[in-house]
Amino acid sequence: MKNITLWLRFILVAFICLTIAVSCQSNKQSQQPILTSLGPPETVTGAKPIEPIPNSSKFNLEKVALGNQLYQETQLSGDNTISCASCHALDKGGTDRRVYSVGINGEVGFINAPTILNSSLHFKQFWDGRAESLEEQIDGPINSKHEMGSSWSEIIQKLQKSPEYVAQFKTVYDDGLTSDNIKNAIATYERSLNTPDSKFDRFLEGDTNALTENENKGYQRLKDYGCVSCHQGILLGGNMFQKFGVFGDYFQDRGNITKADYGRFNVTEKQEDRFVFKVPSLRNIEFTSPYFHDGSAESLDKAVKVMIKYQLGREIPQDDIDSIIEFLTTLTGKIEEVSS
């Protein structure tokens, strides 16, 4: 009996030691980056596959031309000084590169202007996702006193004085010059502003030499650290909402909280949507500074560090940050030439 008791004690001690060893190993592994395989096409468990931006879009060229003209038209604003292009300039990555845009009468806005490039591929429009379509989105700046400060009745009265506009609308639309047709023309033009043929697109299409060794490393690190759980899909973003500050109180640390900081809450009034925003696309990101809805990050280096801290709850080596930034530059595409 004594020998049996000693044997049972030995088994119990061995089991406890084995349990501790397994637990330590598990904790050690959980602290390491989650590694995913490299090579196109890309997908991450729980995330949508990353796909190249297609080149095959076709548009009505007359609508695109009219929409382009209206996109540049300052008569859409109350004092005839501001156009869509004022805040979304193509030579500035589809933005104005300001912290907050400036509207009529020098009115300063409350949130950073997102890029218009590839906007048709987003699942919703605006940082808080309050618009379901590009047509619906146009109503926002048109009627905002801090932006274009106008109304559709005022705009139509102005444009009807132009024989050229009246003739163009009659050619393109059966019912001529209406607010719905103005919005449709502008939205059609905006839908033509996709940016395919980036280095990363060519990589996804099978060109394994499209990325340099360090760009490849940066892409791997983007996956290793879990960035692709939110920056996923064709735009590496733009297809989901996420709270800003998952592993830390970004807004408390930054201070001076404004209504714009409440994000999706301003639309739904649900407490769980406070500080929740549409995840921005990483496409063409090297040209769309400053970053975040509040324009608080003037460089990609700072933006990546803020994301690592508040969204992932960790610190990473500067070498990895530099590699990620180098990869991000491969997401710059070309504005697509539309065809009829």
Per residue in 320-333, pLDDT (tens digit) is 999 999 999 999 99
Radius of gyration of the chain (CA): 25
Mean pLDDT over each residue of the chain, to the nearest integer:
89
Specify whether 151 is located in the same domain as 88. Answer: yes
Q: What predicted TM-score, i.e. pTM, was given to this entire model?
A: 0.85
Does a structural domain hold residue 21? no
The average pLDDT across 54-59 equals 80
Question: Above 90 in pLDDT, residue 43?
Answer: no
Between CA 325 and CA 289 the distance in angstroms is: 13
In this prediction, residue 57 carries a pLDDT of 72
In this prediction, residue 29 carries a pLDDT of 35
Specify whether 168 is located in the same domain as 206. Answer: no
Specify whether 261 is located in the same domain as 171. Answer: no
In this prediction, residue 152 carries a pLDDT of 98
Specify whether 321 is located in the same domain as 210. Answer: yes
Are 318 and 155 in contact by the 8 Å Cβ rule? The answer is no
Q: Give the C-alpha distances (Å, rounded to integers) separating 41 from 80, 279, 317.
A: 47, 22, 28
The average pLDDT across 141-168 equals 97
Specify whether 247 is located in the same domain as 276. Answer: yes
Between CA 297 and CA 292 the distance in angstroms is: 7
* Number of Cβ within a 10 Å radius of residue 49: 13
Last residue of a domain, one of 149, 165, 191: 191
Question: Above 60 in pLDDT, residue 40?
Answer: no
Q: Residue 338's pLDDT band (boundaries 50, 70, 90)?
A: low
Specify whether 92 is located in the same domain as 184. Answer: yes
Residue 147 known to be catalytic = yes
Last residue of a domain, one of 160, 191, 222: 191
Instruction: Please give the distance of CA 278 from its chain centroid, rounded to a whole number.
Output: 7
Between CA 262 and CA 223 the distance in angstroms is: 29
Does a structural domain hold residue 111? yes
Given the structure tokens 């990473």, which residue do they identify? 316
In this prediction, residue 336 carries a pLDDT of 74
Tokens representing residue 169 in the block? 């609308």
Tokens representing residue 272 in the block? 């769980």
Question: Above 80 in pLDDT, residue 9?
Answer: no
> Which among 249, 275, 250 has a CA at the least distance from the CA of 262?
275
Between CA 181 and CA 202 the distance in angstroms is: 36
Does a structural domain hold residue 73? yes
Report which residue type is found at 248: G
Q: Please tell me which residue, 164 or 45, carries the higher pLDDT value.
A: 164
Specify whether 186 is located in the same domain as 215. Answer: no
Task: Choose the catalytic residue: 42, 73, 135, 147.
Answer: 147
Specify whether 144 is located in the same domain as 165. Answer: yes
Identify each DSSP E strand in the chain by its residue range: 241-243, 276-278
Does a structural domain hold residue 253? yes
The average pLDDT across 6-14 equals 46
Does a structural domain hold residue 271? yes
Does a structural domain hold residue 45? no
Question: Above 90 in pLDDT, residue 31?
Answer: no
The average pLDDT across 160-183 equals 98
In this prediction, residue 293 carries a pLDDT of 98
In this prediction, residue 49 carries a pLDDT of 79
Between CA 95 and CA 290 the distance in angstroms is: 10
Are 314 and 321 in contact by the 8 Å Cβ rule? The answer is no
Which residues, including other chains, have CB under 8 Å from residue 78's CB and lie 6 or more apart? 104, 148, 149, 150, 154
Given the structure tokens 């096409």, which residue do they identify? 41
Q: Please tell me which residue, 115 or 6, carries the higher pLDDT value.
A: 115
Euclidean distance between the first and the last CA atom of the chain, given in angstroms as a whole number: 92
In this prediction, residue 54 carries a pLDDT of 87
Question: Above 70 in pLDDT, residue 313?
Answer: yes
Specify whether 120 is located in the same domain as 141. Answer: yes
The average pLDDT across 3-28 equals 43
CA atoms within 13 A on the CB side of 220: 12
* Domain extent at residue 114: 61-191
Q: Could you give the number of structural domains in the chain?
A: 2
Does a structural domain hold residue 276? yes
Does a structural domain hold residue 317? yes
pLDDT digits (tens, 9 = 90+) for 227-281: 999 999 999 999 999 999 999 999 999 999 999 999 999 999 999 999 999 999 9
Question: Above 90 in pLDDT, residue 282?
Answer: yes
In this prediction, residue 62 carries a pLDDT of 96
Specify whether 124 is located in the same domain as 185. Answer: yes
pLDDT digits (tens, 9 = 90+) for 62-98: 999 999 999 999 999 999 999 999 999 999 999 999 9
In this prediction, residue 335 carries a pLDDT of 85
Last residue of a domain, one of 164, 191, 218: 191
Question: Above 50 in pLDDT, residue 37?
Answer: no
Q: Residue 46's pLDDT band (boundaries 50, 70, 90)?
A: low
Give just the sign of the alpha carbon dihedral 259, 287, 53, 322: negative
Pairing verdict, β 276-278 and 241-243: antiparallel
Which residues, including other chains, have CB under 8 Å from residue 188's CB and lie 6 or more apart? 59, 60, 63, 64, 67
Buried b (16+ CB within 10 A) or exposed e, 195-215: bbbbbbbbbbeeeeebbeeeb
